[in-house]
Amino acid sequence: MLAYSAPRQDMQFVLKDFLDSEQHYANLSGCETVSLELLDAILDNAAKFAEEVVAPTFRTGDEQGCTFDNGRVTTPDGFAEAYRQWGEGGWQSLTIPAEEGGQGLPSSIGMFVNEMVGAANWAWSMYSGLSGAPVSCLLNGGTEELKQRFLPKLLSGEWGGTMCLTEAHCGSDVGLLRTKATDNGDGTWTVSGTKIFISGGEQDLTDNIIHAILARVEGAPEGTKGISLFIVPKIWVNEDGSLGDSNNVTCGSIEHKMGLNGSATCVMNYDGARGFMLGEENEGLKVMFKLMNFARIGTGLQGLTMCERSYQGAVAYAKERLQMRAISGPKNPDGPADPIIVHPDVRRMLMTQRAISEGSRAFLYWLSQQIDLSKHGSAEEAEQANALLEFLTPIAKGFCTETAQEVTYLGMQVFGGHGYIAEHGMEQVARDNRISTVYEGTTGIQALDLIGRKVMGSGGKLLQNFTKVIHLFCQEQQDNAEMAAFIPRLQELNAEWGTLTQQVGEGAMKNPDIIGSASVDYLMYSGYVTFAYIWARMALVAQQKLAAGEGDAAFYQAKVTTAKFYFQRLLPRTRALAESMVADPESIMALLEESF
């Protein structure tokens, strides 16, 4: 059965060598005491928790799934105990400000903890992840009284939480939602409606569940301008934080899904449930979007966790499985055949998995540092970090999940027929990952957000802000002979990025459909170029370590080799994307509807 081992060495490389976390935290206001020793302790303890407590629930969670009986959901064996240990270990409050009852550590520390726990069992980690939704909403839109009423039990893990946006008729178009809220005149509101696809909407892990719900006040404007945000507990919470009566919140059913069977995906009914408004009336999306942006990066993290899990399984199998002889001659002459890892096509698959997995980790961890800077940096650092996050978040969500589909497919392919068999776990990883391209807005929605709102909507400024970062890096390294395999190509693509953007923009002035027809190709192109920048930076760091004779030479050489593979074998995909994104949308739109 597929095992999980936290990739400590690569995580240490990204945190210490690539991102220089010690200096990063030293420069952050309020984070100066975060040392490498503290990072090591958190990483080791989180790895132990992920490997020993969460990972054993991976198989049972899929086989048993969640069961539904008369409004009650029972989670698989081991889930409740793991969640109890999670809460008691203080993991739920790790990155919450100290003044709000948390441990006050930077968001970037939560990123590597969440990677390990998510890779161990993403279905389980969704309960802890979604419990952060009402916490974020309370921090960004709650009064002091509401925070004191709800936060302590949410942060201790005694209560769980959800994020409730979707309704059956509107999906991602939240402006069409029908859930209603009525002012009770006493500081509370009555919420009525039905939400679907609510992860953890009902479960047996916690004593209470706090729902963050989007709803429309009677008489509010149509569309997204009339949406408000509410906190609604499953069981009423008294002013002193104690539990009261049931609050007319019920689970109507749970979905039967392709994967993530251990995560209860619920239909939730709010039949006159009482709650509290967060933020201002009709401005609920302002509060919710602060959560949504982080959630999109978190979904990109799901892609990384599935990549890592699939890669680990594929490598272990490829080293053990004996089949055929190497074209260049036997590599296991005393055995009946060679291990399949010696065959070039298997190596191609493993290297693709490796390049995407390690590239995703470095990219997402770097983005988590930008989140740190947006909160704790100087005014100038925060402005730059927010600009980078605004532009790169849809790329993180869209590209890291789309490429994860390829990685998990390749993991099954390395196993051959055995990859299709449940006992090996590879098909579960592929199934569990499949939803990642849909969560928090489909790839198409991310692509439209990128090219429409972020690029065209900013007049190209957000794109130029990032391409300038790449340009300055290339300038610094253009005379470095060791970087000759990377810098010229990165410079070329960085310039082409702007040219293609201009072509799409000019084409859209004549035919608006070109934005939609180009969008996903544009997002994937953007992702490959972004990863090229990340891989070039990692190659530079690894080369510097090799030149200085520091650390594990074989590890650093492998990093350089993987960077070259990425540039030679994966980055050329930009050629096809560049051609297709500027193609006339006629071939997409010309076919009559009745011809489908």
Q: Which amino acid is at 240?
A: D
The rounded distance, in Å, linking the Cα atoms of 291 and 304 is 20
Where is 386: in which H helix or E strand? Answer: helix 379-415
The rounded distance, in Å, linking the Cα atoms of 176 and 169 is 8
Question: Residue 172 in contact with residue 161, Cβ under 8 Å?
Answer: no
Judged by DSSP in three states, 340 sits in helix
Query: What are φ and ψ of residue 244, in 5° steps?
Result: -110, -130
Q: Which amino acid is at 216?
A: R
E-state strands within 309-406: none
Annotated catalytic residue: which of 81, 222, 440, 550? Answer: 440
- The C-alpha angle 417, 423, 427, rounded to 5 degrees, equals 60
The rounded distance, in Å, linking the Cα atoms of 263 and 76 is 9
The rounded distance, in Å, linking the Cα atoms of 524 and 504 is 15
Question: Residue 139 in contact with residue 109, Cβ under 8 Å?
Answer: no
Q: 108 to each of 128, 565, 587, how far by Cα in Å?
A: 17, 28, 44
Q: Please enumerate in sequence order all residues whose Cβ is within 8 A of that of 18, keeping only pairs 6 or more positions apart, or say none.
A: 362, 365, 366, 537, 538, 541
- The C-alpha angle 239, 242, 243, rounded to 5 degrees, equals 110
Question: Residue 398 in contact with residue 446, Cβ under 8 Å?
Answer: yes
**Is 440 in the active site?**
yes
Nearest to 2 by CA among 81, 75, 84, 62: 62
Q: Give long-range contacts, CB 8 A cutoff, 24+ apart: 70-74.
A: 71/202, 71/250, 71/251, 71/252, 72/202, 72/204, 72/251, 73/202, 73/203, 73/204, 73/251, 73/254, 73/264, 73/266, 74/204
Three-state SS letters, 468-501: HHHHHHHHHHCCCHHHCCCHHHHHHHHHHHHHHH
Look at the alpha carbons of 22, 24, 26, 32 in this order and tell me if their dihedral is positive or negative. Answer: negative
DSSP class of residue 317 equals H
DSSP class of residue 168 equals T
Start-to-end C-alpha separation, the chain: 44
Question: What is the set of active-site residues?
Answer: 440
